[in-house]
Amino acid sequence: MEPRMEKDNRSTVRLGTLCLGLVLLIASLALAVAAGAVHISISDLYQAVTAPGKTENYRIIYTLRMPRAICAGLTGANLALSGCILQGILRNPLADPGIIGISAGAGLAAMALMLIAPSLTALVPFAAFVGAIFAAAVVFFLAWERGVNPLRLVLAGVAVAAFFGGGMTALSVFFSDKIQGTVSWMAGGFAGSSWQHVRMILPYSVLGIVGTLCYYRKLNALQLGDDVAKTLGVHTERTRGLLVALAALLAASAVSVAGLLGFVGLIIPHVMRLVVGSDFEALLPCSALFGAILVVIADVAARTLFSPVEVPVGIFMSFIGAPFFLYLLKRRMRHS
Amino acid sequence: MSSIATQNLRLQYGERIIAENLNLIFDKSEIVSIIGPNGSGKSTLLKSLAKLLVPTGGAVYLDGKDLQNISMDNVARIISVLPQSAQAPGDMTVRDLVTYGRMPYQKMFSKLNDEDIKAIDMALKSTDMVKLQNNRMGNLSGGERQRAWLSMALAKEPQILLLDEPTTYLDIHHQLDLMELVVHLYKTMHIIVIMVMHDLNHAARYSHRLVAVKNGTVVADGSVAEVFRQDVLEPLYEIRAVVTTVKEGNYEYLACFPYAAV
């Protein structure tokens, strides 16, 4: 038999995707600053960057649109990475911080802090992280059966998400007088994102992103199954625990700024896997980039499509994400 | 030359005791097959030798040291395992998979050095996977896939190679192919090969030593001639069988024909 030699063209695809991602990210950020009720031209934008404070539009660009675009970008990158990690360590394509209940845990903790101790807003991401870890622990405990059973994981996630969602509704009933400030946050969106939010999410994002990128090799090894990973010298339990913590940290920092923004962590890693393959060395950075692009553009669309009404971007994402989730579920059922 | 031995080894899954009082020594380059009925604890024993399972009693000693006290990396450099039905992402190339074999030698960010690349090329060459090295795992046949995994196990440059039913899911041609390859590796690398085998005739044909395990204890351990006998195999599998010698040209092979279950 003639051996079927294949060519290895992946490095070209990967590099191309990364470069395209960078270009698209810059373009989408520029679009996010330019588009809106007050139109801002490219030259205005250029002036605002080169000569701060001298133009009329500077205030709009600097205090409203730039922090909002940055928040959207970081949120998208964090959610995509979080989903990427979860899909990798659970070997389950349906894993996503929203679906397995981590986001809901983070959301409840963040909301409780916002309502009960509004003066401690800076601690919101930390509270969200604690909530996310707690939710992850509960879900894993429920889904454990000699390893994580994929279907049980999704079911446990749905139950936990519903439970914490109920908690959030209860909070909004008991604190109905203070709820105003958190309504748009709950729907999932970036209305009112300021530099304060950027400062709040940035350290956690950097920690999460750098930490994740450091672990790509171990993620790759875990893809081969626990036994193989162990025989390659990986401490699987310890590594998996640490990666879950990173996924929770990333999801929690996203939730503290954007509320419950679902499906980014599901869609992006999937699509990127189709494009660049399952090697996390390429998958992680590409997912982060395109996650950022998706959320920045979705936020622009949410802001401008139905203007003057602003649709929360979370609703927007749900309309794209839910059908995609059903598609994956159906395909998986057919395979197994 | 490395050696691996078990002393009063007890293995459990939760409360259930799988194997007890295992005392085995593997201290010279040879091919050993572990045989025995399903559920006898063969694969569990193999797992414990690879530090994939923590013993609840006794110990496994690698070069005289308790395996549990040796770091994962150091174990990984000496012992290679080909697990049963291991799965890789379909889009991973053979060479990528083999490259993972170098993980125990790498620091967190270090790139592959010349030594790594040499080991990878050697592993690909010795398993005849050079031409297929850029192929995706998902596009390989069962036999090729098994060779790719074996290649990965070899890239670690192990001194002990553990194979868990390496020929399962392969057709007869590829079964023989793989066994020939294992013998070839043993001859060129002077390693200890310990494999769990289902096919008795393959075990007899390709090993030097057989270890028969039943209900979690070793019932026979010795050369093929000592173990591959009617009075050992019949009670081991609870069967009636004939053990004979098949002559083919200048070679003689031991063969077992089971004809009834007891």
pLDDT tens figures, A111-142: 888 888 888 877 888 899 999 999 999 988 88
A260 pLDDT tier (thresholds 50, 70, 90): confident
What chain B holds in terms of domains, given with CATH numbers, is 4-261 (3.40.50.300)
Q: Are B92 and A233 a contacting pair at CB < 8 A?
A: no
pLDDT digit string, tens, across residues A303-317: 888 878 888 888 888
Q: What is the DSSP letter of B165?
A: S
Looking at residue B64, its pLDDT comes to 92
Going across the sheet that includes B192-196, the strands are B79-82, B160-164, B192-196, B31-35, B209-214, B217-223
Determine the 3-state secondary structure of A116 from DSSP: helix
A277 with A160: CB under 8 angstroms? no
pLDDT digit string, tens, across residues A14-24: 899 999 999 99
pLDDT digit string, tens, across residues B123-172: 999 999 999 999 999 899 988 999 999 999 999 999 999 999 998 888 89
Query: Residue A306 and residue A312: Cα distance in Å, rounded?
Result: 11
In the block, tokens 């890789």 appear at B88
A289 with A20: CB under 8 angstroms? no
Q: Are B135 and A7 a contacting pair at CB < 8 A?
A: no
Answer whether residue A185 shows pLDDT above 80: no
Q: Could you tell me where the DSSP H helices lie in chain A?
A: 10-34, 42-50, 58-59, 66-90, 102-116, 124-143, 150-174, 180-187, 195-214, 216-222, 226-231, 236-258, 264-276, 280-304, 313-335
CA contacts within 13 A on the Cβ side of A70? 18
Determine the 3-state secondary structure of A166 from DSSP: helix
Answer whether residue B31 shows pLDDT above 60: yes
Answer whether residue B260 shows pLDDT above 80: yes
Q: Tell me how crowded residue A218 is: count the other CB atoms within 10 A of its CB.
A: 25
Residue of B nearest to A222 (CA): B88
What chain A holds in terms of domains, given with CATH numbers, is 21-335 (1.10.3470.10)
Candidate from B93, B96, B108 with C-beta closest to A214: B108
Looking at residue A7, its pLDDT comes to 63
Q: Tell me how crowded residue B176 is: count the other CB atoms within 10 A of its CB.
A: 15
Crossing angle of helices A42-50 and A10-34, rounded to 10°: 90
Burial B19-41, CB ≥16 within 10 A → b, else e: bbebebebeebbbbbbbbbeebb
Calculate how close chain A gets to B17, using CA atoms only, in Å.
17
Segment A201-209 shows an average pLDDT of 91
Looking at residue A169, its pLDDT comes to 87
A153 with A92: CB under 8 angstroms? yes
A/B interface, count of CB pairs below 8 Å: 80
Query: Residue B2 and residue B144: Cα distance in Å, rounded?
Result: 29
Chain A residues touching B73 at Cβ < 8 A: 233
Answer whether residue A2 shows pLDDT above 50: no
The mean predicted confidence, pLDDT, of chain B is 92
Looking at residue A314, its pLDDT comes to 82
Answer whether residue B257 shows pLDDT above 90: yes
Looking at residue A10, its pLDDT comes to 79
Q: What is the DSSP letter of A323?
A: H
The mean predicted confidence, pLDDT, of chain A is 85
Phi-psi label, residue B25: left if phi above 0, alpha if psi -120 to 50, beta otherwise: beta
Burial A230-239, CB ≥16 within 10 A → b, else e: bbbbbebeeb
Say yes or no: B216 contacts chain A, CB-CB below 8 A. Answer: no
Looking at residue A336, its pLDDT comes to 46
Candidate from A227, A235, A279 with C-beta closest to B52: A227
Segment A29-53 shows an average pLDDT of 77
B10 pLDDT tier (thresholds 50, 70, 90): very high
**Would you give the end-to-end CA distance of chain B in angstroms?**
43
Segment A29-54 shows an average pLDDT of 76
Segment A25-54 shows an average pLDDT of 78
Report chain A's C-alpha Rg in angstroms. Answer: 20
Q: Are A225 and B106 a contacting pair at CB < 8 A?
A: no
Looking at residue A305, its pLDDT comes to 85
Answer whether residue A41 shows pLDDT above 80: no
Query: Residue A106 and residue A252: Cα distance in Å, rounded?
Result: 5
Answer whether residue A56 shows pLDDT above 90: no
Query: Which is more confident, B7 or B108?
Result: B7
Q: What is the pTM assigned to this prediction? A: 0.86
Q: Which residues contact A285 (CB under 8 A, 6 or more apart)?
A: A18, A213
Nearest by Cα to A255 from A244, A266, A264: A264
Answer whether residue B243 shows pLDDT above 90: yes
Q: Is the peptide bond before A308 cis (omega within 30 degrees of 0)?
A: yes
Q: Are B89 and A8 a contacting pair at CB < 8 A?
A: no
Answer whether residue B229 shows pLDDT above 70: yes
Answer whether residue A179 shows pLDDT above 80: no
Q: Tell me how crowded residue A73 is: count the other CB atoms within 10 A of its CB.
A: 25
Range of weakest confidence among A29-43, A66-80, B220-234: A29-43
Answer whether residue B217 shows pLDDT above 80: yes
Q: Is beta strand B31-35 parallel, antiparallel or unpaired with respect to B192-196? A: parallel
In order of A135, B48, B102, B254, the CA distances from B45 in angstroms are 37, 5, 25, 26
Say yes or no: B158 contacts chain A, CB-CB below 8 A. Answer: no
Q: Is ipTM strictly over 0.90?
A: no
H, E, C per residue of A46-102 = HHHHHCCCCCCCHHHHHHHHHHHHHHHHHHHHHHHHHHHHHHHHHCCCCCCCCCCCH
Query: Which is more confident, A70 or A308?
Result: A70
A332 pLDDT tier (thresholds 50, 70, 90): low
